[in-house]
Amino acid sequence: MPERRQITVRGIVQGVGFRPFVYEAARERELAGFVRNETRGVSIEVEGDAEDIDAFLLHLRTEPPALSHLDSVDVSPLPLQGESGFRIEYSRSTARREALIPPDTATCPECLDELRDPADRRHRYPFLNCTRCGPRFTIIEDLPYDRQNTTMAGFELCADCRREYEDPSDRRFHAQPTACPACGPELRMEGADSGAADVNVSRFGASPDLVRAAADALAEGAVVAVKGLGGYHLACDAGNPESVRRLRRRKGRDAKPLAVMAPDLPSVRRLCSVSPREEDLLTSRRRPIVLLRRREGNRGLAPEVAPGNRDLGVMLPYTPFHTLLLGEVGEPLVMTSGNRSDEPIAYRDADARERLAGVADLFLTHDRPIRARCDDSVTRVVCGDVMPIRRSRGYVPEPVPVPRTLDEPPSVLAVGGHLKNTFCLTRGRHAFPGPHVGDLENLEAYEALEDGVSHFRRLLDVRPEVVAHDLHPDYLSTRFAQELADEIGAPRREVQHHHAHVAACAAEHGVTEPVIGVAFDGTGYGPDGAVWGGEVLVADLRHFRRAAHLAYVPLPGGEAAVRQPWRMAAAHLTAAGGGEDELLESGPARRLADAAGSVRWPAVRSMLREGVGSPPTSSVGRLFDAVAALAGLRAEVDFQAQAAMELEARADAAGDGGAGRPAAGGKSGGYPTGVYRDDESGLRWDPAPLIRAVVGDLEGETSVGTVAVRFHRTLASAVLELCRGVREEEGLGTVALSGGVFQNALLTEWTVEALEAAGFEVLLHRRVPPNDGGLSYGQAAVALARADREEPIPVRPATSAASARNGIGREDAPCV
Ligand code: ZN
Ligand code: ZN
Ligand code: FE
């Protein structure tokens, strides 16, 4: 029986070779009709034998192209037209844009073969790509996804490329960014003109082979700014301590670990141990940075790359240009974001030239413009699966589903937090977390947020109906939300920081029921004005109640205490001493007093005595700082979480040795958790017994590694006891672990072991980061869940764009 049917396919179906796939599938079964891209997806009409159409549909649903992702396939009958032959029609815009844009994808095996084949016309061409790989999100200006709507619009296809582009049986059929040496982008080398060069680079630019010239310059110690997919990298020889120090000095980055790009898997294995799951991740088409355990000895790696760290962030080449460069160098390169200090990554050529002039000796760039800034993603394998630490290139702009609470949910824009900022825009039941913006501490970051939001609004073709933001009145993100909400006439929704963390974790698992939310991090604004960060919540997507928290201690000097962990040690010693000075006279305290100096130490002690300039905090991040400082690891830090990372590294090292992994949830060898139930105020968590025990250990013969192990074990036990306490009261059996502290793989694994052994179901972050990079998604989930009811919008004083741009964030954000 002949039939004709209309098929609409939605999901990631454009720019992934979907139409040629449909074309082949239809021709194989001798079906007539056509396929075309529309802004809402792909539209197909087929005519032929009903059985053949069914087989065609089955094939479509079960074996779509590798990079595609089908959200829905809708089929409806049409009258017969008696058509013959199958064709691909040109794109047509329809009113609503529902097509999903693919993320940028690592070079595919076929393209790599061509790159290495001396007989191929694209041999060693740094910009080759096809429908299975290459740039997407970072070059797309607008939809529909056609070449004229990308930054490849200015490159006219040569006759050979056009033939491939128009041939439905070719891998490059409608490959929008396709190019070859005859018609595509070109590499360009420019010297730094700032006089910053420590390496004489003038001779390199004259070479006919710029990749080889760059490799030579790197081998001689140069710092090279390299234009990639979503921005510029700063590259240098990872085995050359002098180059790495120079890069750090010029970039203004003292100690934060730098990521490395290795030529291939064997060279990764020389640096780090790699599990099968980690290997999958390293070689996946998303090609993120993976945090791996370093091998002893660090052969071939300068210690300056990741000082004091047991882990190393490693990635493999993901563009043909990287493959050529790393192939030529043959050794790992430092490949870090092209920026100074904490500014957003540079991606426009003129801007990069200006901002990186004093940092790079050489610029290896090209003439394919980058439309959207997109940093490398960072991942870690925790409890056997992927945990995103930074979700950006290779993932963005793929959607993350949000649980459906309404039939027609409004579009929500959530603007995230202050540090590791991302935004998130929703359309229907999809949330679209944006790329990494960074810390909102300067004008560049604020503009990156503005630009990112307006680009996403255009690509997704949505006008936000609700704007969600943090409770903190002085965050730049809050000001941005206020201005935007006023401009577009949308209501605002405030979402508490730790509620957003927990909601993010629950929502990504599709959980809408109440959970026990354990949110541990450095800083988040509490409704009581305190600095929260050690929270046990009973929460669903709409509401939360604080069931317990780490008892408040003063945060002496506010922001200063974040940079100077010795202040937190003093605060915890004072609180744990209960009015006695004994702890403050102990050996570990005296060492800190010496480090802080004869002016600052007494000043902070009197601050603590008088309670001035010291907002209360329940932060577990700061508890890590205090213990690390007491253990003599860090009196001061260069970046957030540095002390905590070193404490984890020490525990990890000791845990691997004779001590072995402690029994899950067991008390042996741990410190007292300080968790108890108070008849009047319920579940309490007091850090004092832990602090006293740590001091006792450190005064004796106990090693720092053992103290670190015991501290981690105690925290895991505390979480277990707290969750048991909440389960007794509320009968809840699901625990969501969120907040930056749960990037700590050791703590997370021990906590999960303990909770699961006690019968809890545990949710970990698998789609968005547990740190503040995941806040925007959580804010969006909360705002969507609350969308069906009118809630009063608290009145805040309006602020002007000018005041926001004059750096308010630097003075009074992020936490006090
Ligand atoms: Zn390819
Ligand atoms: Zn060409
Ligand atoms: Fe946080």
221-267 pLDDT, tens per residue? Answer: 999 999 999 999 999 999 999 999 999 999 988 789 999 999 999 99
138 Cα: distance to centroid of ligand 2 (angstroms): 21
- How confident is residue 661, by pLDDT bands cut at 50, 70 and 90? very low
Which pLDDT score is estimated for 149? 93
Distance CA 155, CA 371 (A): 15
What letter represents residue 726's amino acid? Answer: V
pLDDT for 811? 28
Average pLDDT over residues 772-794: 83
Lowest mean pLDDT among 295-299, 406-410, 527-531: 295-299
Q: What is the mean pLDDT of residues 107-124?
A: 97
Q: How far is the CA of 775 from the centre of ligand 3 (A)?
A: 7
In the predicted model, what is the mean pLDDT of residues 71-82?
A: 93
Q: What is the structure's pLDDT at 803?
A: 33
Mean pLDDT, range 290-318, rounded to an integer: 90
Whole-number Å distance, alpha carbon 813 to ligand 3 midpoint, is: 14
Ligand 3 center to residue 643 CA distance, Å?
Answer: 17
Please determine, for residue 813, whether its predicted confidence score (pLDDT) is greater than 70.
no
For residue 131, give the ligand nearest its CA.
1
In this prediction, residue 168 has a pLDDT band, given cuts at 50, 70 and 90, of confident
Q: Residue 144 C-alpha to ligand 1 middle, in angstroms?
A: 21
Tens of pLDDT, residue by residue over 170-210, are 999 889 999 999 999 999 998 865 444 455 556 665 567 89
Identify the pLDDT of residue 428.
86
Residue 25: pLDDT band (50, 70, 90) is very high
621 C-alpha to ligand 3 centroid (Å): 10
Statement: residue 309 has pLDDT above 50: yes
Ligand 3 centre distance from Cα of residue 400 (Å):
20
Adjacent-strand bridge partners of 565: none
Element (H, E) at 474: none
Give the residue-averaged pLDDT of 563-575: 96
Instruction: Give the mean model confidence (pLDDT) for residues 629-646.
Output: 91
> Which residues, at least 6 apart from 435, have a Cβ–Cβ distance to it below 8 Å?
230, 372, 373, 374, 375, 392, 393, 396, 422, 452
Residue 177 has what pLDDT?
96
Higher pLDDT residue, 40 or 710? 710
Which ligand minimizes its atom distance to the CA of 128?
Answer: 1
pLDDT for residue 657 is more than 80? no
Alpha carbon of 290 to ligand 1 centroid (Å): 23
Q: What per-residue confidence (pLDDT) applies to 69?
A: 87
For ligand 1, the distance from its centroid to the CA atom of residue 406, given in whole angstroms, is 40
Quick check: 503 pLDDT over 80? yes
Q: Return d(Cα 237, Cα 451) in angstroms, integer.
A: 33
Give the number of whichever ligand sits closest to the CA of residue 525: 3
CB contact at 8 A, 677 and 726: no
- The whole-model pTM stands at 0.90
Q: CA-to-CA distance for 457 and 446, rounded, in angstroms?
A: 17
User: Which ligand gives the minimal distance to the CA of 113?
Assistant: 1
| 67: confidence class by pLDDT, cuts 50, 70, 90 | confident
36 CA to centre of ligand 1 in angstroms: 22
Question: Is the Cβ–Cβ distance between 574 and 602 less than 8 Å?
Answer: no
Q: How far is CA 395 from the centre of its chain?
A: 9
Average pLDDT, integer, range 404-418: 90
pLDDT of residue 523: 94
Q: Lowest mean pLDDT: which of 94-103, 377-386, 426-435?
A: 94-103
Name the most confidently modeled range: 29-38, 676-685, 760-769: 760-769
| Selected residue with higher pLDDT from 93 and 500 | 500
Is the pLDDT score of 690 beyond 90?
Answer: yes
What ligand has the least distance to the C-alpha of 159? 2
Tell me which ligand sits closest to the C-alpha of residue 110.
Answer: 1
What confidence score (pLDDT) does residue 20 get? 85
Is the model's pLDDT at 793 over the cut of 50? no
pLDDT at 91: 65
Which residue type does 412 have?
Answer: V
Q: How far is the CA of 174 from the centre of ligand 2 (A)?
A: 13
Task: Output the CA–CA distances (angstroms, integers) from residue 763 to 526, 719, 748, in the order listed.
Answer: 24, 14, 11
Report the Cα 455 to chain-centroid distance in Å.
19
pLDDT level of residue 473 (50, 70, 90 thresholds)? very high
Q: Per-residue pLDDT averaged across 39-49, rounded?
A: 90
Count of CB atoms situated within 10 Å of the CB of 219: 16
Is the predicted pLDDT of residue 808 greater than 50, yes or no? no
Q: Considering every ligand atom shown, identify the ligand nearest to the alpha carbon of residue 106 and give its number.
A: 1
State the pLDDT at residue 794: 42
| Nearest ligand for residue 133 CA | 1
The pLDDT mean for the chain works out to: 90
pLDDT at residue 815, rounded to an integer: 29
Of the candidates 393, 361, 362, 363, the residue with the CA atom closest to the CA atom of residue 377: 393
Q: Which ligand is nearest to the CA of 183?
A: 2
What SS3 string covers 524-560?
Answer: EECCCCCEEEEEEEEECCCCEEEEEEECCEECCCCHH
- 584 secondary structure, DSSP code: G
Ligand 2 centre from 130 Cα, in Å? 12
